[in-house]
Structure 1
Amino acid sequence: METAQPRHLIVTVYGLYARGAGGWMSVARLISLMADLGVDQAAVRSSISRLKRRGMLQALRQGGAAGYELSEEGLAILKEGDRRIFRQERATLADGWLLAVFSVPESERYKRHLLRSQLTRLGFGTTAPGVWIAPAHLSEATEDMLRRLDLSGYADLFHSKHLAFGDLAEKVRRWWDLDQLEHLYNEFVQAHRAEHASDDREAFVKYVRLLTDWRRLPYLDPGLPAELLPDDWVGIKAADLFFTLQAQLAVPAERHAVTSS
């Protein structure tokens, strides 16, 4: 797999180890943890600046110590991410589909781009221009996103059922580019199948990298019905591997993160 970028590792570290402290972490502690991950101070500071510009983090001093806390938007994004990353939720055909249809005036093109990017991030596929589709279990997350970003006035959501025509499994393969998704799952399995940690620090390094590599995949694969997936779908194997390693690494990784200065 491609090496995770420092800002993605920082988001993982904040998601795992800062929210228990109200979303704040000192600069000293962050630099120490990132050094364990092989990221130098210059890269940490550059990545923090990018995350500030994107509205994920904001500067805050506590007890005389310089640090950064997750913004309200950052906390909301991570909370929504928890529902996707740490839950193995797979739809069935009987659940039906969620259709999102939107229309945004040309004068508000930036909102059109935002809407498209957010639907993609939630795991929607596209059936036609302006018509997006996802398993119905994503309805709550989609409604929350539209309200949070003040986009609800541009979209309509429908709970639907596929009646006809053609091979639905083949359509799903196109709507979600399952060939590319299969490739990404295989890369994940190859990168992490032999994981073993000899101490807490190594568990921390492996767990942060594991979670950083994993967390984008549940968004690309929104839990499509097994009936529509290829036989021996590698996504199931990848999910089993992730949750097995999480059970092994999470506790020792947290011990290291808590004791790091």
Structure 2
Amino acid sequence: MIPNSEREETVSGSSDTDRVLRGPRSLIVSFFGTYARDVGGWVGVADLITLMADLDVDGPSVRSAVSRLKRRGLLVSERLGGAAGYRLSEEGRRILAEGDRRIFGHRVARVEDGWVLVVFSVPESERSRRHALRSRLTRSGFGTTAAGVWVAPAHATDQARATLRELDMEGYAELFHADHLGFRDLSEAVARWWDLPALQAMHEGFLTEHEPVLTAWRRRSLRGEEGPRRRRAAFADHLRAVDSWRRSPFLDPGLPPELLPDDWAGGRAARVFSDLHTLLRTPALDHVRSTLTP
């Protein structure tokens, strides 16, 4: 079982969440984002504890996690038929809808589409706001070309504009659409603007954990296995995959493949996630529906 003393780490399942615990809290956020909206939005506490037990999360950890998510404004408590439960808040729905666009609609850029530049200058008296902007841009997949100059593939333009508006930073920044005209080779420049080894390690970690799971499920599907045990296992593996993957499309902006190292693991990791999602989503949701109290 995962103890109540969870390990804290930055997670970017949404550009709005600053600190989310990888563990019970992260799994519950992923659960509500992946399934809750398909089952009416409300989930009873007792049923949530039963479902999280399939991932070896104990009851006290679940209660502690949902209490903290309520305090963060992502969940709201509600009683239905005398049973205690939770549903996503309006803010939670907005955040997870944004996550859906990034997680399930991840785009790969083309060099000919160009780049978006965010150029900003924030006075030292407001350095906390400057730090918040830098953090949000990092968690939205932007790289750094110079102090106060951040870059991403052009398809991130709307995200950049939304970030500046949400942080009320339009007065400190300008947006540009740009092409790279020199002087370094563009692939060399990209390697300076982004921490490619860190992104590669993230993708390789996902593959190490989830590629064998995909292989096992393909073999299992060939044997035609069905039944409650299969659906329960599909739920556990699917939710773990979503929870592990949901940071990646935010931190990795989908750089043009020709600018990346030959052994780049990002494309393979994206295919593994897509295949796992396609294979396990339906039986996982069936398990959730069969577990919920009518």
Fold shared, TM-score > 0.5 on shorter chain: yes
Distance 1:91 1:109, change over 3 A: same
CA, structure 1 residues 54+114, in 2 after alignment: closer, same or farther (shift >3 Å)?
farther
The residue that corresponds to 2:46 in the other structure is 28
Q: Please state if 1:203 is matched with 2:234.
A: yes
The answer (yes or no) to whether the contact 2:39–2:289 under 8 Å persists in 1 is no
1: CA distance between counterparts of 2:264 and 2:272?
13
1:22 is displaced (CA, Å) by 5.8
Q: Secondary structure at the match of 1:61?
A: strand
In structure 2, C-alpha distance between the alignment counterparts of 1:22 and 1:147, rounded to whole Å: 32
Mapped partners of 1:43, 1:194: distance in 2: 28
What 5-or-longer segments of structure 1 have no aligned partner?
none
Q: Any conservation in 2 of the 1:36–1:205 contact (CA below 8 Å)?
A: yes
- The change in CA–CA distance for 1:182 and 1:258 in structure 2 (over 3 A counts) is same
SS in 2 for 1:193: helix
- Any unmatched runs of 5+ in structure 2? 1-8, 10-20
What residue is the counterpart of 2:17 in the other structure? none
- 1:37 CA drift (Å): 1.0
Q: Which residue of 1 aligns with 2:97?
A: 79
Give, as a single letter, the amino acid of the residue that structure 1 aligns with 2:243.
T
SS in 1 for 2:80: coil
**What amino acid is aligned across from residue 178 of structure 2 in structure 1?**
S
User: For 2:76, what is the secondary structure of its paired residue?
Assistant: strand
Equivalent position of 1:112 in the other structure: 130
- Give 1:110's aligned amino acid: S
Identity of aligned residues (%): 56
CA deviation string 1:32-79 (max 9, x = no partner) = 111111101111122223323333223233343222222222212211
Opposite residue 19 of structure 1, the aligned amino acid is R
Provide the alpha-carbon RMSD of the alignment: 2.1
Alignment of 1:52-201 (within 5 A): 52-195=70-213, 196=217, 199-201=230-232
Distance 1:129 1:211, change over 3 A: same
Residue aligned with 1:68, SS: strand
CA contact (8 A) 1:176 1:220 kept: no
The answer as to whether partners of 2:114 and 2:179 remain within 8 angstroms in 1 is yes
Question: Partners in 2 of 1:23 and 1:119 — Cα distance?
Answer: 30
* 1:148, distance to aligned residue in structure 2 (A): 3.7
Give me the TM-score of the superposition, normalised by structure 1: 0.91
Q: Structure 1 residues 53, 129: CA separation in 2 closer, same or farther (over 3 Å shift)?
A: farther
Q: Is the 8 A contact 1:4 1:213 kept in 2?
A: no
Task: Report the counterpart of residue 47 of structure 1 in structure 2.
Answer: 65
State the distance in 2 between where 1:92 and 1:155 align: 25
Report the CA distance between 1:100 and its aligned residue: 1.0
Q: Tell me the residue number matched to 1:8.
A: 26
Contact kept, 8 Å, 1:23 with 1:75, in 2: the verdict is no
257 and 220 in structure 1: CA distance in 2 versus 1, 3 angstrom threshold = same
Aligned partner of 1:250 in structure 2 is 281
Assess if the C-alpha contact under 8 Å between 1:136 and 1:159 holds in 2.
yes
Whole-angstrom CA distance in 1 between matches of 2:135 and 2:147: 14
Deviation of the 1:135 alpha carbon: 0.5
89-98 or 175-184, larger mean C-alpha shift: 175-184
Partners of 1:52 and 1:152 lie apart in 2 by: 30
Report the Cα distance in structure 2 between the residues aligned to 1:68 and 1:112, rounded to whole angstroms.
Answer: 35
> Quick one: distance in 2 between partners of 1:107 and 1:66?
46
Which amino acid in structure 2 is aligned with residue 240 of structure 1?
A: R
The reply on whether 1:237 has 2:255 as its aligned counterpart is no
Distance in 2, matches of 1:75 and 1:149, equals 19
Alignment-mate amino acid for residue 103 of structure 2:
I
* Aligned residue number for residue 260 of structure 1: 291
Structure 1 residue runs of 4 or more that deviate by more than 4 Å after TM superposition? none
1:145 partner SS: helix
Tell me which moved more, 103-112 or 194-203. 103-112
TM-score by length of 2: 0.81
